[in-house]
Structure 1
């Protein structure tokens, strides 16, 4: 099994838990994009699809805009061999003004994901309300993991090294989280 690390807007820079994950997990690979600052849904989907097809039974580890990318990917490619997804701090791109660089990722697909998933949600994330995060988890069939007041679960909110993320991803790999029916 392998893990595909899927950053969001601006690429989860140095010190971010996703980049640090790569230092300690030999089975993890980052899905790099050509331009982290000007996201393009079609280009990002192509990169993710290529990475999934090269991986062996991948578990996805997505953050922020990467979570929205996973929702789009699952809708477009529902039969890929993904074993599960850890979805961390989804970005509610539908709440952004139309000229925002992330607006091209709306509307967010709300279909049930065809693989087990855990959505880690903070109660004070500036990019998604608790209500919207719970709504996403419900619609996607994701198990909800309440992080309390953890900000955007990134470096700025003190999550440079995020051990809880490893534990949540391990649950996806050991079969204790099931896909929603």
Structure 2
């Protein structure tokens, strides 16, 4: 089965050295461009993901980093297009309910905590400055996502030294449906 891989960056987008950008170059993944990376509005980002999924019937795998994880959770709770998604890799979900959250992200409260209607893997770091290990594990459990901890690796971005991050790609590949599971 052919699947599209949609890249969902977080707040301020992913720069050229970020593993998401490297995956675009290496594998031809498609970045979901948002109109406003600096003052992200949850409803606008959800509508944009719906628009991208509606334009092509090919099923997709979602690859979210940081605020992109919150986008997946919020979008899945409201969209009628969730059947087009076969799985989601949720990397470094932030705690947007934390007191130190920048005002630009306050409209991402409350965190949507409904179970995702597709398989998901949440990848976390034990020293992520934007989310405690406990909160990340709680979100993963509520979303029904398998939890993978990489130990102390920061926010799992370009500063974490992940490079092309082949281990992450293996986690994404594990979400691909097997021929016997395709309906």
Give TM-score scaled by structure 1 length. Answer: 0.91
Q: Is the 8 A contact 1:60 1:85 kept in 2?
A: yes
Aligned residues: 176
User: Hey, what's the Cα distance between the residues in 1 that align with 2:159 and 2:144?
Assistant: 29
Answer yes or no: is 1:90 the counterpart of 2:108.
no
Q: How far did 1:79 drift?
A: 5.0
Give TM-score scaled by structure 2 length. Answer: 0.91
**SS of residue matched to 2:77:** helix
Q: How far did 1:68 drift?
A: 0.3
Q: How far did 1:42 drift?
A: 1.4
Cα 1:150–1:97 shift into 2, 3 Å: closer
Please list, as runs of the form range in 1=range in 2, the aligned pairs for 1:43-62 lying within 5 A after superposition. 43-55=44-56, 56-62=58-64
RMSD: 1.8
Query: Any stretches of 5+ residues in structure 2 without a counterpart?
Result: none
User: Hey, what's the Cα distance between the residues in 2 that align with 1:96 and 1:39?
Assistant: 18
Q: 4+ residue runs of structure 1 moved beyond 4 angstroms?
A: none
Answer yes or no: is 1:152 the counterpart of 2:163.
no
Q: How far did 1:97 drift?
A: 4.8
